Structure 1
């Protein structure tokens, strides 16, 4: 009997996907990536400029004060070179005006002498000794000057000419503050101009290198999400070797896989609906066949008497399959109800169901000892063995046995610790290497015409439900390729039963 399956896979909902995409489209960020980059670049540039700007202003102020000291130094040379009392008040005021000072004092040999003076201030607000000056003092004094009042008076000390101890210049801080503000404004304008140019260049480069490709990615993701079954919306990689290029290749691979998966699930859903209808009608047909088979019990023919119970059992089993809607995708198989069963009898029954009249073509050899008892669900174990035997018979009918061997399927079993190992081996052409990786995957392992690729998948599910495992025994590298296939089933046991002699 052919394997019929129904897949309970809901097709991908375009409306649902579209709603998600529309929801994502509706939540636009307040600032786009380009705007954020511009703001970040401006902030970073201004921060860097500020770190340079403040020391630059402090350095400008120090230079301005040193220029005043240089002018005072020259005035001191003039005043010292003139004979006593020969400097007129007019020349003294002009010298002080050129320096921008109120008083010039020369310190020499422990004494202080006023060389020139105008109106004396009531007090001096701050004294700066440029002979012993540090960077932090320069920054602090520049900050105080920038935000100071306009009527402050300061005294600046510097090196003196002609071997003196020092020179003191007392002046109004207003001109220094005005020059500092002017220099700060120019530096600020230069900083803002640099920030604007750097930001514009950065945005252009980022748009070409990053934003453009990223926008292409996001646009494709949005369009593909609106119709994920449309293969024409799969992104075409640009071929670049940077990170975004690799992201495009990964996205294209993912989208291609998703399209194929959705297409397959759509087909499986349609198949499930068709099989559900077939299952309904097939159950009615089998019920009618069961009524007719019951009448075979009244026939006196010995062959009919021998085959009638087997036919009735087979029909009962088929009706139960239909009644419980044994379809792969719906996973409606009942949980195993294990008990102690005679494996030899189960193998014999499965062999008769698979090949009742093919003894001349394929021999099914039951190598399981009579009375070999194990803990399993007899019905599900029957289905597992029947699927494996049917695959072997069809392989031998299609390709024939390996050279020098007869067409046989051999079933053997033995205990291995707390497990039972069941092996189903055939002398057919074996399993191609290209199929082994997905041997137990539905709809992917069948290589024969008309095959559904479900027999091994169903067998694997039933074995796993018992807590066991099924695998294709590895092929010896030195052996011939056409050495047949051996499936090994491992079933955990409740306890090790005694093997009948």
Structure 2
């Protein structure tokens, strides 16, 4: 049993906001279970107790009738005048009755009689009494006043005969009180023993594991980022054991999610600081790249436009985005665009981080159009192509394959489908479940784990989808991007 106290006080400035001090009395689970078990056992004992007492009374009366019938055998064996009055009284005293009457073939015969009562307080026929009648008569006997006289009628051993006795009820009342108290004490002892055993068993099997769960929940709630506070399952196969395993899984997931969000927040702050200086650096680089336009070298003339376009794209991206964690990407501005040229440009950008030994095959048909934002689709394709290049650089191609990244596109079911495939080792099964989750799938040294997550977010912004194709007949990884077709009015 525990007291839960909430204490409040009047503000020092005397202003509004009283919080009254109150005390809430709350019973613990163990105390509640003990009270309930004792109550249930006592209710069961009472249900059995009353019929037991009534049965004791009936047996007591039957013994009196049996003694009275034995006395009738003695009285009938001798001639009426031959039984002295003293012997008759002695028989009545031994049996404990005042009058013995034998009913035979419809006739009543008083065999012995002592002091006759002025009146009989109750007549009880044991031959035809029901359970309710027995319980009611037992109650009247238990609560009877002194000097009550009752008449009891019961069957005699001889078929067709009945024996009737009139007796003082005081000895029966005293015997009933003594028996009732004895049964009550035994019932209380049994109730306490059963209740204690039940509470101990329930405490060991239920309450203690539940208390372990609640304690862990409270401690984990105080510091949900601390992995050391994740509950360690007991390994039991019952329902609470399964709840512990589920709680451990949930807490472990929550710890990782909170730490990931914390890292994202820190990354967002860092990128926000970097963004300002990066724009200045890229601005300076843009001024230098503009001077390449005046160089007469054919190679410089060919590279300068692409360099300028890349720097322009980087500057716009820095101005539009602070961090992935803040997800400040602009809303897509879709338009009809030719895909093949964007794929080529993305491949050239991604190949800067790759190797000359890796082949890129652009199998997108000339004139194939999609409905997308050119800048954002360029970022999607760059991330996917770079992902394939890095996989080939890091692990090499699959046995019997050349190092190659392939881009294809086709229409399927009224949607545009773009596939970027590589001949690398493929994606490990353990990584696939969180492939598009930030910071969870980067196995490359120095990688951020954001490339596929950014691509997935940009594709979803276009009302499309991106998936990893699990094709048993193919080698490497195949990423499929599905985009809606342009509206008819576009």
Q: What's the TM-score once normalised by structure 1's chain length?
A: 0.82
Contact 2:54 2:134 in 1 (8 A): yes
Q: Which has the bigger relative contact order, CA under 8 A and spacing at least 6?
A: 1
The DSSP-based 3-state class of the residue aligned with 1:319 is helix
Structure 1: 5+ residue runs without aligned partners?
1-25
Which 10-residue stretch deviates more, 107-116 or 239-248? 239-248
Matched, 1:491 2:487: no
Deviation per CA, 1:20-57: give whole Å up to 9, x if none: xxxxxx99872122212221221222222222212211
Deviation per CA, 1:367-387: give whole Å up to 9, x if none: 222222221222211111111
Contact 1:374 1:497 in 2 (8 A): no
Q: Shift of the alpha carbon at 1:420?
A: 0.8
Q: Shift of the alpha carbon at 1:299?
A: 5.0
Contact 2:438 2:450 in 1 (8 A): yes
Q: Shift of the alpha carbon at 1:364?
A: 2.9
Contact 2:354 2:386 in 1 (8 A): no
Residues 259 and 45 of structure 1, relative CA distance in 2, 3 Å threshold: same
- 1:440 corresponding residue in structure 2: 436
Q: Shift of the alpha carbon at 1:403?
A: 5.3
- 1:345 corresponding residue in structure 2: 341
Matched, 1:33 2:29: yes
Contact 2:105 2:160 in 1 (8 A): yes
Contact 2:354 2:393 in 1 (8 A): no
The DSSP-based 3-state class of the residue aligned with 2:314 is helix
Contact 2:391 2:424 in 1 (8 A): yes
Residues 91 and 358 of structure 1, relative CA distance in 2, 3 Å threshold: closer
Q: How does 1:52-451 map to 2 (within 5 A)?
A: 52-160=48-156, 165-238=161-234, 242-297=238-293, 299=295, 303-355=299-351, 360-402=356-398, 405-451=401-447
Q: Shift of the alpha carbon at 1:201?
A: 3.0
Which 10-residue stretch deviates more, 355-364 or 428-437? 355-364
Q: 1:46 aligns with which of 37, 42, 48?
A: 42
Question: 2: distance between equivalents of 1:206 and 1:29?
Answer: 23
- 2:18 corresponding residue in structure 1: none
Contact 1:418 1:495 in 2 (8 A): no
Residues 397 and 223 of structure 1, relative CA distance in 2, 3 Å threshold: closer
Question: 2: distance between equivalents of 1:49 and 1:93?
Answer: 42
Question: 1: distance between equivalents of 2:359 and 2:23?
Answer: 69
Q: How many residue pairs are counted as aligned between the two chains?
A: 469
Deviation per CA, 1:331-361: give whole Å up to 9, x if none: 2222222121111222233233333698954
Residues 496 and 175 of structure 1, relative CA distance in 2, 3 Å threshold: same
Residues 27 and 268 of structure 1, relative CA distance in 2, 3 Å threshold: farther
Contact 1:76 1:161 in 2 (8 A): no
Residues 230 and 438 of structure 1, relative CA distance in 2, 3 Å threshold: closer
Which 10-residue stretch deviates more, 135-144 or 466-475? 135-144
Q: Shift of the alpha carbon at 1:184?
A: 0.8
Question: 2: distance between equivalents of 1:434 and 1:74?
Answer: 94
Question: 1: distance between equivalents of 2:338 and 2:371?
Answer: 9
Q: Shift of the alpha carbon at 1:418?
A: 0.8
The DSSP-based 3-state class of the residue aligned with 1:355 is helix
- 2:15 corresponding residue in structure 1: none
